[in-house]
Amino acid sequence: MKKSDIQELRRLIGEENVHDDRPHQLAYSYDATRDHYEPEAVLFPRNEEDVSKVLRYCNERRIPVVPRGAGSGFTGGALPIRGGVVLALERHMNRIKEIDLKNMVAVVEPGVINKELQREVERHGLFYPPDPASQEYSTIGGNVAENAGGMRAAKYGITKDYVMALRAVLPNGEIIRAGKRTIKDVAGYNLAGILVGSEGTLAVITEITLRLLSKPRLTKTVMGVFPTVGEAMNAVYKSLAGGANPVAMEFLDNLTIRAVEEKFHKGLPVDAGAILISDIDGNVEEEIDYQIALLERFFKENGATQFHIARNSREAADIWFARRNASQSITIYGSKKINEDVTVPRSELPRYLEEVERIAQKYRVTIPCFGHTGDGNVHTNVMVDGENREEVERGYKAIEEIFRVTIDLGGTLSGEHGIGLSKAPFMKMAFTEGELELFRRIKAAFDPNNILNPGKMGL
């Protein structure tokens, strides 16, 4: 970029909204991967018109533009790997524009924090289910760009299941609408569906219309303790195939249980092979009791030695504490975490985790696992000493083999974190050349000059 570009961008959207100083360049040079790429400028658009002006200008001059929410992604999706500008949407474009009680929808700008939206709609007796672990700080725009999931996905699905319509700006500055505020809409191609999960490579989303639900009146938490991971995984898919409908079905393996206990001393069963944690919700006690009875039956039929039902919210919070603190706890096994969020069909969970154990032994690395087994999404964490180059190399070889196992089992490279930069080299493993070429054609149709988040998803 030239100084004249900075000056013109300041003229277009206001001097106070364009920064090319060192502190801003550093602050917007990383995400949760801790990889580091500096932008040449950071822009804070005030509205959709500003976004349009910026994109039109940058498109004409082939300046890369990287849209960014909270920068909480785990795959480098918001890293400006080719310089250019970061388009930071969290400062100004963060309004909840409407909560439509009659049609049960919310209209928001991309910078709205997930948890803030949840709190606001619940004040009206409504419910926005997608709850990524980053919900306290991640933005709805980022959630849409990555198609984020969360613990409630087992029952309620993921972000794509709630996006009804979008407004977005194409790289040439044109503003488009995708979708409608209607339950049914089969007119034309599903442009909103294409933009969800596109990681900011096709357009910049400026407004999101989300489907809401009625908030369930009751929730209860249960926990099952299993001698082995295999028995726990059998309990997962057999429970769900047998009619159980839990909000969440989360698991921790033995390595994770031991790590949480070492850090927090919560009285967890450190000799257990795995624990399963589940929430059940509904509007009447009979419904809750029926679901709990189903889970207890299937857990015990598949080897559970203990089955706990939380008696109150405090006990429920204690049970969930282990899962919510799993990620930070496993750092006892290594200073560097290579964290992958692969997903396999639920019936393949036992075999997948058997293969992970084999791979851990083969490459002499520690791989604690936890995650959203209700939807087959396992957070597989290869822990290594970040200062030991040889060990780090073994860790990455283990990850590559884990990806191969995942694909062979009919799974996917990512359940919720996206592809971004870190998983881009593995796209050829997951897709045929014909499929990748189709992706490239879609990218070219939206962004012929390749200015939007270039280099991500292998595109």
**pLDDT, tens digit (0-9, with 9 covering 90-100), for 44-72:** 999 999 999 999 999 999 999 999 999 99
Could you please report the per-residue DSSP string of 339-393?
A: EE--B--GGGHHHHHHHHHHHHHHHT-B--EEEEGGGTEEEEEEEE-TT-HHHHH
Find, among 8, 159, 138, 149, the residue nearest to 69 by Cα.
Answer: 138
Phi, psi of 313 (to 5 degrees): -65, -30
Residues pairing with 204 in the sheet: 169
Average pLDDT over residues 286-291: 96
Which domains occur in the chain, in start order? 3-91 (3.30.43.10), 96-214 (3.30.465.10), 218-327 (3.30.70.2190), 334-430 (3.30.70.2740)
Q: In this predicted structure, what is the pLDDT of residue 23? A: 97
pLDDT exceeds 90 at position 19:
yes
pLDDT exceeds 90 at position 459:
no
Q: In this predicted structure, what is the pLDDT of residue 34? A: 82
pLDDT exceeds 90 at position 377:
yes
pLDDT exceeds 90 at position 33:
no
- Averaged pLDDT of the chain: 96
CB 406 within 8 A of CB 342: yes
CB 321 within 8 A of CB 266: yes
